[in-house]
Amino acid sequence: MADLSGKVALVTGGTSGIGRATVQRLSRDGAKVVFTGSRQDAAHSLCDATGARFVSARVQDEADWEMLGRVISDEFGRLDIAFANAGTEHGDGSVEDILLENWNSIIGINQTGVMLTAKTAIKLMRENPGGATGSIILNSSMSAHKVMGNYMAYSVTKAAVLAMAKSIALHCATEGTPIRCNAILPGVVETEMIRAIIGKSPSPEAARAAYCSMSPMRRMGTVDEIAALVAFLGSDDAAFISGAEYAIDGASTAGMTGV
């Protein structure tokens, strides 16, 4: 368990999957958590279970970030951890198939939304009582390195998020600001969405086997494993880690397994 007592954390896309598990983990480790998300029914149950604070906001909307920043500042007085997790692949396709409106939507959520998360987080972290401090974690993907031909926009945005983490880390360090930024790159993770896809497949057993085979470890990751990495990077134990990329993919991007 990471010791996050006294810290305030922000999680975007916190109502399902990795985001939901991270809200649960950070709360369990002692942090006060504010989260956004698209499923208000799930948000209420998560608040009841963890004591976290839900704020309805669109990550790609700058005005919503101004509102969310005020909520965090007025109600909590500081921000120590920001996990830019919200993302989508809805409407994606190949370079020949993707519609411009879908391209713009994915870019807006996966890329602009992450930038606005970090920009707001840095502003709040600079104003922390006792001086600037904080940890920003960006959720990239193994697709930043192993891109998909039929999910071009998703792959492009996840590569951009990785570059963004390094740029933010360099900016904060050279400014002399002790605010860290790192990227995590999950592989295939068994979320509710993946389980639903498996369940609707003609052969659920074959579908599960196909997902598991994408990792040399022959299994999918769990949302709790991803949340544990976020908690570590948000903790003081990771105080000298910035500008790093953490693959958490069961060796999927480590190299070729050979024949």
Give the tens place of pLDDT for each residue, 179-207. 999 999 999 999 998 999 999 999 999 99
Q: Is residue 31 scored above 80 in pLDDT?
A: yes
pLDDT at 38: 87
Residue 113: pLDDT band (50, 70, 90) is very high
pLDDT in tens, 220-233: 999 999 999 999 99
Centre a 10 Å sphere on the Cβ of residue 251 and count the other Cβ atoms it contains: 12
Q: Is residue 259 scored above 90 in pLDDT?
A: no
The tokens for 224 are: 């709790």
Side-chain-side CA neighbours of 213 within 13 Å: the count stands at 6
Smallest Cα–Cα separation from 119: which of 52, 162, 68? 68
In one-letter notation, the amino acid at residue 234 is G
Distances (CA, A) of 123 to 11, 59, 120, 219: 16, 16, 5, 40
β-pairing, 8-11 vs 32-35, is parallel
Smallest Cα–Cα separation from 221: which of 197, 248, 199? 248
pLDDT at 257: 78
Contacts for 80 with CB less than 8 Å, ≥ 6 apart: 4, 7, 8, 9, 31, 125, 128, 133, 134, 135, 234
Cα-based torsion angle of the residue sequence 35, 127, 67, 25 in order, rounded to the nearest 10 degrees: 0
**Looking at the chain, how many residues does it have?**
259
Of the candidate CATH numbers 3.40.462.40, 3.40.50.300, 3.40.50.720, 3.30.450.20, the domain formed by 8-189+222-248 belongs to 3.40.50.720
Q: Is residue 214 scored above 80 in pLDDT?
A: yes
Instruction: Break the chain into its structural domains and give their ranges.
Output: 8-189+222-248
Is 154 an annotated catalytic residue?
yes
Residue 246: pLDDT band (50, 70, 90) is very high
Q: Residues 27, 234: contact at Cβ < 8 Å?
A: no
Distance of CA 123 to the CA centre of its chain: 19
Tell me the mean pLDDT in the region 39-61. 96
pLDDT in tens, 76-91: 999 999 999 999 999 9
pLDDT at 2: 86
Per the residue annotation, which of 151, 154, 211, 246 is the catalytic one? 154
